[in-house]
Chain A
Amino acid sequence: MQTPALPVPESRPLVPPSLRGVAPVVVALPVLALFQWLLGGADFASYLLSVMGVNIILAVSLNVVNGMTGQFSIGHAGFMAVGAYISGVLSLQLKEVALSFLPVAASDQVLFMLSLLVGGAAAAACGFLVGLPSLRLRGDYLAIVTLGFGEIIRVVVQNTDSFGRALGLSGIPQASSPAMVYFWVFLVVLAARRLAGSSHGRSLWAIREDEVAAEAMGVDTTGYKVRAFVFSSFFAGIAGGLFAHFVPIINPGSFTFVRSMEIVVMVVLGGLGSTTGAIVAAIFLTLLPEGMRSLFSALGTEGSLAQRVDQIRMPIYGVLLVVLMLARPQGLFGSKELWDVLPRWLPRKRRGLA
């Protein structure tokens, strides 16, 4: 039947096929619960971990479009904003509501999850609307249109009373926890990995490699690009929703072009197409400003320097992009993944061994 030249490990599967879909989630939940318990009441650590988790979700989801599919979106923060505002407003509306058949804490989490999903769906719908016209055209149009989309979102928010205009939205229930954030981190990584390992993911790679040939081989390139874009926008919306539920206030300033660029830099630095790279770069670039701040205040040289870290890092991001493109366009990881080099007995997905 099969005549592969290389021996394929044909051991009996540890998990029956019908359960492979949910098995990782079953494993992850107790781990996350433990993680939350260990973290206890460490406020700053919780906050920093949550920010980091949101950045990972953003970077991994953007990598599906910018890395795997070879398109270039620079308006990820716009989709994040959609998720943040929609789920934030919904949570505000549901603040007084409780599901009577559940204990209060559980009811809050269920409602929180609901508003997250609605926010994600709204972002996905926006992704569809933005992607359809621009993805029919050459890749660079997407860059401009997504950038413009971010601007449109900003203007819409600033003109809508229920979004709090320029002042922002406060009083959103602080329902998020690091466990919830990392549950979504886990989901986005799992989804990205499964996508990359599936033949749908192969079609995305094919589009990145040669769009004309992909089209000639029956790949509906526009359809695939739009689907990838919707996928990516959905998770950006989720990230925004999570963000809105652990920061005290959201305003248009939280979702500017700078935010989008930060995510782009993460993806490019990690290596376009590598989920592992996106994760590593997201962690690194979240901790870097904190590290610089502590370093400057420890040195105690100029008090102002520590405060100006946020200002200084932006031009550095720009220069970093240019230097990366000139010196190492494939980023840290190229398109390689951690699970490509793991030992054999661990569950893994090599290219072509779906």
Chain B
Amino acid sequence: MAQLLQHLINGLASGTIYALVALGYTMVYGVLKLINFAHGDVMMVGVYMGYATAFALGREARASLLGVAVVFAVAMLGCALFGFLIERFAYRPLREKPRLTALITAIGISFALSYGFQLDIGFLPGASPRAFPEIITPTEWLIIGDRDVVVWNWQVISLLIAVGLMVGLQYLVFGTRFGRAMRAVSWDHRVAALMGIPTDRVIALTFMLSSALAAGAGLLYAIKDTSVSPLMGLYVGLKAFVAAVIGGIGHVPGAVVGALVLGLVEEFVVGYAASTWRDAVAFGFLILVLLVKPGGLFGRVAAEKV
């Protein structure tokens, strides 16, 4: 019983991180109908920005509350800028081209980032994973029984940050003028442009927002894993994408639910079956969902306008 509870907590904790990344896929898909393959790798770049900042701050400064805030701020802002540049120079020129070209571009960017960062030329970090500095010292926040169930402080912190970001996002999309513009672009970006909505700006902001969220999520993941590596983006990104599809891509609460479900499924498979199968779980689950409910849990298969 205690074991079950422990798995539940761990699963929810990793689920919330997937959720933040999944939201990025879903938002970009919403406005552009593009699966932004490079999203996970953008996240990875953000984590390295945070890593560099934490080192620059030094051992004392980074462990303070202000230090943590600075690390997060630098990573998220830097990543937003990075996302903006990618959108501006790689995706925008292709917006009216066949969809396949944008997809190939996204795959190319993903590949260039995840393998480019494995080189050890210049500032690039090299292939081997590095220990992520302890910006939040892991402590046991809650212990039940004789260490039957342990809740770590980082789990609580990431849950709080994730929930905060999600609530903020929900407000942004449904409660602000920008959100309304976003939803209009999502409906039909050409018509939205005719209605006087600055489509380019809305799309660029959506990219920045999703990249910033990804950087935040990536840092939480790195704190949990205590390491960073160039391939982390590929793996976390793919799982988050699977989560977004499970929830119904383009559907904001769906992405969150999908991510939590995926986090739990993964945790239970690792806990009760075999940990070596962990990486296969997400994709097996994805194929299963596509077979049974192709539109995901909340989405529906949209008919193309004819």
Which residues of A line the B interface, CB within 8 A? 70, 72, 74, 130, 132-134, 136-137, 139-141, 143-145, 147-149, 151-152, 154-156, 158-159, 212, 257-258, 261, 264, 268, 272, 311-312, 314-315, 317-322, 324-326, 329
Contacts and interface: CB of A to CB of B under 8 A. Distances in A.
B279 A321 contact: no
Contacts of A268: 104
A306 to B, nearest CB: 15
A318 B112 contact: yes
B36 to A, nearest CB: 10
A72 B103 contact: yes
A326 B86 CA distance: 13
Given A137-B301, A151-B279, A70 B241 contact: no
A325 B94 contact: yes
A320 B280 contact: no
B108 A319 contact: yes
B290 A315 contact: no
Nearest to A315: B116
Contact of B286 (A148, A156, A325, A329): A148
Interface in B212-239: 234, 238
Contact of B115 (A70, A158, A318): A318
Nearest to B276: A159
Contact of B108 (A133, A257, A258, A318): A318
Interface of B: 35, 37, 90, 93-94, 97, 99-105, 107-113, 115-116, 118-119, 234, 238, 241-242, 245, 274, 276-277, 279-280, 282-284, 286-287, 290-291, 294, 301, 304, 306
B21 to A, nearest CB: 14
A325 B98 CA distance: 11
Contacts of B97: 329
Contacts of A139: 99-100, 103
Given A72-B100, A318-B115, A145 B280 contact: no
Contacts of A158: 276
5 contacts: A133-B294, A147-B238, A311-B119, A318-B111, A321-B107
A272 B94 CA distance: 17
A296 to B, nearest CB: 15
Contact of B105 (A134, A212, A314, A325): A325
Which residue, of B102, B107, B119, B245, has the highest number of chain A Cβ atoms within 10 A?
A: B107
A144 B108 contact: no
Contacts of B90: 322, 326
A311 B116 CA distance: 9
B20 to A, nearest CB: 19
Given A159-B274, A326-B93, A315 B103 contact: no
B280 to A, nearest CB: 4
Nearest to A134: B290
Contact of B290 (A133, A212, A272, A317): A133
Contact of B280 (A152, A261, A312, A325): A152
Given A261-B111, A312-B119, A322-B112, A140 B238 contact: no
Contacts of B282: 148
Contacts of A258: 115
B44 to A, nearest CB: 14
Contact of A143 (B94, B107, B274, B286): B107
A147 B40 CA distance: 14
Given A144-B241, A322-B108, A137 B294 contact: yes
Contact of A144 (B93, B112, B238, B276): B238
A140 B103 contact: yes
A194 to B, nearest CB: 25
Contacts of B37: 143
Contacts of B104: 72, 264, 268, 321, 324-325
Given A139-B100, A155-B276, A311-B119, A212 B35 contact: no
Given A155-B276, A325-B104, A148 B301 contact: no
Which residue, of A137, A148, A258, A317, has the highest number of chain B Cβ atoms within 10 A?
A: A148
B287 A133 contact: yes
A329 B103 CA distance: 12
B304 A141 contact: no
B100 A155 contact: no
A256 to B, nearest CB: 11
B306 A212 contact: yes
Which residue, of B111, B234, B287, B304, has the highest number of chain A Cβ atoms within 10 A?
A: B111
Nearest to A312: B119
A309 to B, nearest CB: 12
Given A130-B287, A148-B238, A152-B284, A321 B116 contact: no
Contacts of A320: 108
Given A139-B100, A148-B282, 11 more contacts: A72-B100, A74-B107, A136-B294, A137-B294, A140-B103, A145-B287, A155-B277, A315-B115, A317-B111, A318-B110, A325-B102
A273 to B, nearest CB: 11
Nearest to A268: B104
B63 to A, nearest CB: 35
A289 to B, nearest CB: 14
Contacts of B241: 144
User: What 5 pairs between A and B have smallest CB-CB spacing?
Assistant: A318-B112, A321-B108, A148-B283, A318-B111, A315-B116
Contacts of A72: 100, 103-104
A310 to B, nearest CB: 11
Contacts of B287: 130, 133-134, 145, 148-149
Nearest to B277: A155
A321 B111 contact: yes
A132 B107 CA distance: 23
A317 B97 CA distance: 22
A264 B93 CA distance: 22
Contact of B111 (A132, A137, A144, A314): A314
Contacts of A130: 287
A214 to B, nearest CB: 13
